[in-house]
Amino acid sequence: QKEVEQNSGPLSVPEGAIASLNCTYSDRGSQSFFWYRQYSGKSPELIMSIYSNGDKEDGRFTAQLNKASQYVSLLIRDSQPSDSATYLCAVNLDNAGKSTFGDGTTLTVKP
Amino acid sequence: DTEVTQTPKHLVMGMTNKKSLKCEQHMGHRAMYWYKQKAKKPPELMFVYSYEKLSINESVPSRFSPECPNSSLLNLHLHALQPEDSALYLCASSQERTEPTDTQYFGPGTRLTVL
């Protein structure tokens, strides 16, 4: 079992729809969770970080964390073609000094 | 300002060449990282520096040699690379790696091609 797993893509949604990206992790000691967006040929860009159970909203993005289920998700409301990218879930262990990344989910938003 | 800069943007080198990648940040971050990313794969951690000291080496071949001259600079020296080392090399920095909420910010990367 991989330490961090993301729902297999690619994921395609129409413009204006809600895109839902999911991530599960295996280590219950995981403390911090991050979503990065990566456009083709570019570097990862931090979108959201979440540390506590529940929802965290930032504009059109909502991160949801459920530590009991070892599950973190990212919702993108009113999806735009510019949201088309690969989304990476990253997890930090307590004092581990490094992030473990999932394989990423590629999202395509069709006009 | 959450900017990490990397030079060069692109590098083509032969297997006998010696070259260096450079990374710089002026955010006062005390941890810096090198990652390697192949196409359609996630970033793969290579090295971590904390307070200018190497703290993690993920069993990287010795043809890759990191250096942290000061808290703002991170270099990756390359020698006798193989074609399979061609990848996007990413630098990242964070405030303090021992905090679980520590957030990494990535530079734009150097696209390396080994001929």
Enumerate the residues of chain B whose CB falls inside 8 A of the CB of residue A34.
Answer: 103-104
pLDDT over 70 at A94, yes or no? no
pLDDT tens digits for range A49-72? 999 999 999 999 999 999 999 999
Low-confidence ranges of chain B (pLDDT < 50): none
Q: Please give the pLDDT value at position A23.
A: 96
Give the pLDDT band (50/70/90) at residue A96.
low
Say yes or no: A74 contacts chain B, CB-CB below 8 A: no
User: E-strand spans in B1-109?
Assistant: 4-7, 10-13, 18-25, 31-37, 44-50, 53-57, 64-70, 73-79, 87-94, 105-106
Q: Which residue of B has its CA nearest to A103?
A: B42
Task: Measure the N-to-C terminal CA separation of chain A; round to a whole number of Å.
Answer: 36
Residue of A nearest to B6 (CA): A43
Q: What is the pLDDT of residue B96?
A: 78
Residue-by-residue DSSP string for B19-48: EEEEEEE-S---EEEEEEE-TTS--EEEEE
HSE value, Cβ hemisphere, 13 Å, CA-based, for B37 = 30
Q: Are residues A97 and B45, on separate chains, in Cβ contact within 8 Å?
A: no
The rounded distance, in Å, linking the Cα atoms of A44 and B104 is: 10
Quick check: B101 and A103 CB within 8 A?
Answer: no
Q: In chain A, pLDDT over 70 holds for what percent of residues? A: 95
What tokens does B101 get? Answer: 């909420």
Tell me what percent of the residues of chain B surpass a pLDDT of 70.
96
- Whether A40 contacts chain B with CB within 8 A: no
Measure A44 CA to nearest chain B CA, in Å.
6
